Amino acid sequence: MRYWFQSYSPQRKRDETVTAEGGLSSSRFVLFGSSLGFSLAADGLWFILLSWLANRSGTALEASLVIAAGSLPRAALMLVGGTLVDRIGALLTAKATNGIRFLVLSVVTLHAVVGEINVPSLVLYALAFGLLDAIYLPAINSIPAVLVPRAALPAAQGVVQTIERLCMILASASAGLLLAGVGVAGTAAIGAAALLVSVVLLLPVRNGTESQAQTVLPKESMARELWSGLRRVAKDRVVGPLLVTIGALNLALSAPINIGSPRLAIDNGWGESGFGFLLAGFGVGAAAGAIVMVVWRPARAGFWGAVFAAVGAVLVGTIPWVPSLTLAVGLFALVGLCAGPAAALLIGLVQALTPKQFMGRTMALLSFAALGLIPVGYTAFGLLVSTFGAQVAYVSFGCLELAGALFALLVPEIRRASINPMEEVSAGIEEHDSVVDAQ
């Protein structure tokens, strides 16, 4: 099956640039991006606060149960949340769940003011956030697809990736200082205030296309809708394999960065500051790589996304042989520089090729692929390090990432897949969707 074009005429390039830049600079996308930033900052503070309280108030087993109470329901109910997003719309769902998240964190703040938060209370709060995130994450991840033109989706994902990296760095750097300076109640209050700002910024965001297409509840049951979404993704020759690739890339990259970097710093005597520099190097590199996607829009998004991932995989495999902290920070930055464009291009392509009525369920699958297997990756990486050493662990996960990238490159439809805002391409996408639905 032939997919849409691989090259632009100069006039089409100019038209695409104007359209995409207009979408990214529109007030509604700016409001969305600002809301997302405050929401991610609050999420970072909440996760660190939850981990701190769980370890301070209970045993290691109890702390693990608290964290699991938040992560397991989120993973288990993510697809149900995506189905709900497709029923009532991404914007409305995100606004409602974000408001409830603010209320939950406000209750945590009040609890911390009046007394100690014990382990059973932490389990309830973690469970509430996990259930809400199962709906909120598919909703918030679907919003770029209903706010910007199709051609601007990789650039929009570049902005989203940049916001995520910067908020991760900010939350990690400030959480410890806040806990030491203003205590648990003050840290929770700052997180609640950030969520309130996020709610206020998202409220005025409107989108006519979504409201026309998704305000009428479907007649099918939730179970039928969920099954139809899974069936469509499984039959799609581009989106299905892309989700497999994205899941493999996240699984292979998260453990070497988050679990391997502290071990690398300890083994080489770089200490806590060295560990911080490594994470900061990756974050800055990923943010810079994502920013590149705002100004560079390659015709074959699938091909170039896989290429960036393949280069990053090779770099991951070389990390344990770096002799100095300076070179290691630079290498982490290069890994991030490849990860940013890879994520922006591949996720943007998934959104561009997914019909609006299936966006929530598809983004739920993407979120599950990106987050659901990360604990498995952490465990496997730790076992490899303890059994065979860091070099074997890094090389193994580099090979896993490379396998994910090569898998994408071996699928002809992914290599040829492009993002084109022109009407004839939209017709081609609709034809592709009809073929998928008919299979």
Retrieve residue 431's tokens. 């034809």
DSSP string for residues in 330-391: HHHHHHHHHHHHHHHHHHHHHHHTS-GGGHHHHHHHHHHHHHTTHHHHHHHHHHHHHHH-HH
pLDDT of residue 426 exceeding 60: no
Query: For residues 269, 275, 278 and 283, what is the CA-based torsion angle, rounded to 10 degrees?
Result: 180
Residues contacting residue 354 through CB under 8 Å, at least 6 positions apart = 145, 239, 362
- pLDDT grade for 365, boundaries at 50, 70 and 90: confident
Domains of the chain (ranges, CATH numbers): 20-201 (1.20.1250.20), 218-439 (1.20.1250.20)
- The Cα–Cα gap between 417 and 61 comes to 47
Least confident piece of the model among 27-41, 117-131, 203-217 = 203-217
What integer pLDDT is reported at residue 60 of this predicted model? 61
Give the Cα separation of 362 and 369 in Å (integer): 10
Q: Alpha-carbon distance 87 to 83, whole Å?
A: 6
3-state DSSP assignment of residue 222? helix
For residues 167 and 26, what is the distance between their CA atoms, to the nearest angstrom? Answer: 22
The model's pLDDT over 380-422, given as tens digits with 9 standing for 90+, comes to 888 888 889 889 999 999 999 999 999 999 999 888 887 764 4
Whether 6 contacts 416, CB under 8 Å: yes
- Taking the alpha carbons at both ends of the chain, their separation in whole angstroms is 13
Tell me the average pLDDT across 239-259.
86
269: left (phi over 0), alpha (psi -120 to 50) or beta: left
Token digits of residue 300:
């074959």
- Do 19 and 426 form a contact (C-beta atoms < 8 A)? no
- pTM for the predicted model, two decimal places: 0.72
| pLDDT above 80: residue 423 | no
What integer pLDDT is reported at residue 424 of this predicted model? 33
Contact 243, 350 (CB under 8 A): yes
H-type alpha helices, 26-152 = 27-57, 60-76, 78-88, 90-114, 119-147
